[in-house]
C-alpha cells in the first residue's frame, strides 16, 4: 500500500468513525481548500421566524436550514462543542468520541410520496405555464428525487472523498443530526462569507459584493427569512405554494441553506443544491431542477 492510499484509507476510516459514533456533527470542505472542518455537538432547533437583531445575538455553530421550516423539519444549529480543522485533529477528536446508539429520525419515512417523472412532470409544467401565461408568475424551479441503492451504500467515507475529488471548487459536506438524519452533498452556490468587519455576498448571476462593517446578524436573518427565488421561482410566494401542492415530495433540507455560523468569527453559508439523504435500505438523491420561463 502506498502512502497516498494509506492517507485515503485513514481519511475514509475517520469519516466512518464519525458516522458510526452516533454523535451529531458536520464535516465539510470549503471550496478550493483541501483541509476539512469538523463541528460536533448537540443539534438544537431554532424557533421560527428567525431573527438575529445584531451580530452579538448571532449563535455559533453549523447551520442546517430547510427549504420550508416546519415543526418536524426545523432550522437546526449544531453547537461547536468540538470545532477543528485538518485531518489530524479531526481524527484525534473522532477517536475520543464515545459511541451513542444510532437512531432513525422521524424524517426517515418522509419520502414515500411518488416523485414526478415523464408525463407527471409535463403535467406539472402545463399547470404552472397557465400562471405564466396569465401574467401571475415568471419562473419556477422544479426538482426531482430518485430513491434507490448504490454500490457505495454503507461507506459514507468513500463517497464523501469521491465527491470532494469530483468537486474541489465547491463546498462538500456530510451532516448527521437526530432530527434531520444523515445528509451529504456539494454546492457551488455560496450565499455569504465573512466576519464582523467584512462580508462577501454573491448574487445568482455570480456577481460578488463586498460589504464592510456589516451587521452579520441582519444579513443572516435576511438570507433565512427571504425565500431564495432561484430555488423556487418568481414570485417566490406563488412558486413555493405551487411546489408544495404539485411537486410530489417534501424537499426537507434540499434547496435550503447550510454552513458555518459565527465560528471563530467567520460565517459561510451555501445553498444546499445537490445532495442525498441516507434512508433505511438506500438513499434518496435530490438533484437538478428545471427553471420554466
The residue count of the chain comes to: 293
> At the top level of CATH, which class does the domain 3-292 belong to?
alpha beta
Mean pLDDT by 10 residues, the chain (293 residues): 63 92 96 96 90 81 95 94 96 87 57 51 77 82 73 74 96 95 94 91 88 88 89 90 86 95 94 84 68 62
CA pair distance 277, 254, nearest whole angstrom = 9
So what's the pLDDT on residue 38? 98
Handedness of CA 171, 77, 280, 271 (dihedral sign): negative
CA angle 90, 154, 44 (to 5 degrees): 55
Euclidean distance between the first and the last CA atom of the chain, given in angstroms as a whole number: 54
Model pLDDT, residue 215: 86
Cell of 245: 401542492
Helix 87-96 to helix 3-21 angle (10° resolution) is 40
Whole-prediction pTM: 0.90
Amino acid at each position: 500500500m502506498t502512502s497516498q492510499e494509506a492517507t485515503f484509507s485513514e481519511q475514509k476510516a475517520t469519516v466512518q468513525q464519525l458516522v458510526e459514533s452516533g454523535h451529531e456533527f458536520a464535516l465539510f470542505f470549503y471550496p478550493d481548500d483541501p483541509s476539512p472542518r469538523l463541528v460536533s455537538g448537540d443539534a438544537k432547533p431554532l424557533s421560527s421566524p428567525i431573527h438575529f437583531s445584531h451580530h452579538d445575538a448571532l449563535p455559533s455553530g453549523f447551520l442546517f436550514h430547510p427549504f420550508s421550516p416546519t415543526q418536524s423539519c426545523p432550522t437546526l444549529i449544531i453547537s461547536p462543542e468540538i470545532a477543528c480543522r485538518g485531518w489530524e485533529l479531526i481524527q484525534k477528536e473522532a477517536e475520543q468520541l464515545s459511541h451513542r446508539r444510532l437512531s432513525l429520525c422521524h424524517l426517515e419515512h418522509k419520502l414515500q410520496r411518488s416523485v414526478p417523472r415523464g408525463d407527471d412532470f409535463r403535467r406539472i409544467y402545463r399547470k404552472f405555464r397557465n400562471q405564466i401565461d396569465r401574467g401571475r408568475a415568471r419562473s419556477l424551479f422544479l426538482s426531482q428525487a430518485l430513491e434507490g441503492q448504490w454500490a457505495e451504500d454503507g461507506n459514507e467515507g468513500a463517497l464523501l472523498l469521491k465527491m470532494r475529488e469530483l468537486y474541489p471548487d465547491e463546498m462538500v459536506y456530510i451532516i448527521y443530526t437526530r432530527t434531520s438524519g444523515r445528509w451529504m452533498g456539494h454546492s457551488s452556490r455560496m450565499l455569504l462569507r465573512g466576519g464582523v468587519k467584512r462580508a462577501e455576498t454573491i448574487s445568482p448571476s455570480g456577481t460578488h459584493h463586498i460589504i464592510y462593517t456589516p451587521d452579520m446578524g441582519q444579513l443572516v436573518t435576511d438570507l433565512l427569512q427571504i425565500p431564495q427565488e432561484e430555488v423556487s421561482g418568481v414570485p417566490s410566494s406563488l412558486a413555493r405554494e405551487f411546489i408544495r401542492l404539485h411537486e410530489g415530495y417534501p424537499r426537507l433540507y434540499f434547496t435550503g441553506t447550510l454552513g458555518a455560523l459565527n465560528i471563530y468569527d467567520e460565517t459561510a453559508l451555501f445553498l444546499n443544491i445537490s445532495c442525498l439523504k441516507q434512508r433505511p435500505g438506500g438513499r434518496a438523491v435530490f438533484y437538478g431542477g428545471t427553471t420554466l420561463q
